[in-house]
Structure 1
Amino acid sequence: MATQERCDAMKKNWKEKGVTESFNVAFEGLFDTIRTERHMKFHCFCTIIVLILSLFLDLAKAEALALIISVTLMWVTEMFNTAIESCVDLVTEEYHPLAKRAKDIAAGAVLVTSMNALLVGYIVFEKKIPIYLKDVLKVFKDSFQHTTVLVFVVVIMLVIIIKSFFDKGTPLRGGMPSGHSALASSIFTIITYLTHNPKIFFLTLILVVLVMHSRIEGKIHTLFETVMGGLLGWGITYLILSIINM
């Protein structure tokens, strides 16, 4: 009876979760998969490479859509595979033909989506890869919006990867490093790069400090986490801008 009451209370609490908490739970599942599954780390690395290549090359909408769908399917099937393996291990730790069948089928689904992703990547990039580095950099020099998108993508992906290795806080609150501080510092670096006006420099610097202070004051991050986030955002942004404008 007591067990049933606890289950009912847990169900009630689950239904009463807010929108932010629901997103936290979803991101926790994503981060846990990246942190614990070797294959997911590889998928994360490949996704970053594909995103960077996509920004370098002049892809048609259909090609970009095919890549987005393929990458998404790869992530989804890998997460379903991990979920199925966890459920099977929860039910039985001993060898059972049905347990083996469930894991093998789930692994087969990952294999199919992997082959699909490789095929789509080959079709899309096969004639576009032979491109000179100076032409690639010229794309970013001529269009600063591409550079900005690249910076934000790299900063966000690095924050996600680093957070996945630290078992502290939730994906949207707390943890190491502070994603808000990283993005704020990245935006500050981009703005100061675009203008040499000292007034704009100090105004954006004040905004960065306010963002970092709000994370500390709200007890969401420690001073160390916010500082590391700020240094990460500044360092990655400065590095990318320096490489592009060499």
Structure 2
Amino acid sequence: MDILERCDIMGDSRNKWKNIGVTEKFNVAFEGIFETIRTERHMKFHCFCTIIIFILSLFLDIGKNEALAIIISVSLIWIAELFNTAIESCVDMVTEKYHPLAKRAKDIAAGAVLITAINALFVGYIVFEKKIVLNMKDMFYLMKSSYQHTVLSIFVLIIVIVICIKAISGKGTALRGGFPSGHSALATSILTLVTSQTNNPKIFFLTLVLTILVIHSRIEGKIHTFFETMVGAFLGWAVTYLILVIVNL
């Protein structure tokens, strides 16, 4: 395939992009991110580090300026890695043979990722150096004294884990379908939270019925398989139970 044919294909792709709906554009954008996570080992590592940084930022006493610095640094790493992957794909599309300019393009793109990673390391060190030790006790006190913070943290963590697993497994989109079922995870999380707060069997069974209805609706609507909903349900229970145990230590 020569360059002109490739340009025609790119032109057709741009026309198709203009004609799709807003929701589909979001799905396409998410798919680009997921594809990078699935195929690039470095992006998997960035995803893991992002989860760790998010958890630390959520529980530690971080000011607005520090939070903004972390958000910008993490975003820059993701953006640089996405551009790096895109540049590598474009170079490989044009030529599969060794060429000095192709090597130069890939090396420069990799250098951009390296700079953003070093910047993030410095920012993380400056922000978390003393706060991890000094605020560890305050974090557990906040979790124990404020049930709302605990619940919010659990929900956010479950959503992040589900999206990352979907990206790695390559099934479904961030908002619909795939492995595992996010709705089932949140439903069983709520069931676990309610169970931990009440001794009334009527409330427990009512919440259990609602949880089963949520899981059944995902299967009945053919959005998820039985296995996907069961894995999601186990994930929601496991994350919620683990955090509740840590908070109550």
> Does TM, scored on the shorter chain, surpass 0.5?
yes
Once the two structures are superposed, the pairs formed by residues 104-183 of structure 1 within 5 Å of their partners are: 104-131=107-134, 133-183=136-186
Q: Sequence identity of aligned pairs in percent?
A: 67
User: 1:74 aligns to what?
Assistant: 77
1:4: how far off? 11
Change (3 A) 1:168 1:53: closer
The amino acid that maps onto 2:214 is: V
Tell me by how many angstroms 1:13 deviates: 4.8
* Contact 1:31 1:160 (C-alpha < 8 Å) held by counterparts: no
Aligned equivalents of 2:211 and 2:20: distance in 1?
31
Query: How far is 1:29 from its partner?
Result: 1.3
Q: Secondary structure at the match of 1:211?
A: helix
Return the match for 1:21 from 17, 20, 24: 24
- Determine the structure 2 residue equivalent to 1:61: 64
Give the structure-1-normalised TM-score.
0.88
Give the whole-Å Cα distance in 2 for the aligned partners of 1:4 and 1:68: 36
State the match for 1:210 in structure 2: 213
Gaps of 5+ in 1: none
Task: Determine helix, strand or coil for the equivalent of 1:165.
Answer: helix
Equivalenced residues, count: 244
Unaligned runs of 5+ in 2: 1-5
Q: Is the 8 A contact 1:182 1:234 kept in 2?
A: yes
2-side partners of 1:174 and 1:128: how far apart?
39
TM-fit CA distance, 1:58: 0.9
* Residue 207 of structure 1: how far off its partner (Å): 2.4
Match of 1:92 among 88, 92, 95: 95
Aligned to 1:221: 224
Are the counterparts in 2 of residues 55 and 146 from structure 1 also a CA contact under 8 Å? no
Task: State the partner residue of 1:201.
Answer: 204
Tell me whether 224-233 or 141-150 shows the greater mean CA deviation. Answer: 141-150
Change (3 A) 1:5 1:161: closer
Deviation at residue 78 of structure 1 after TM alignment: 0.9
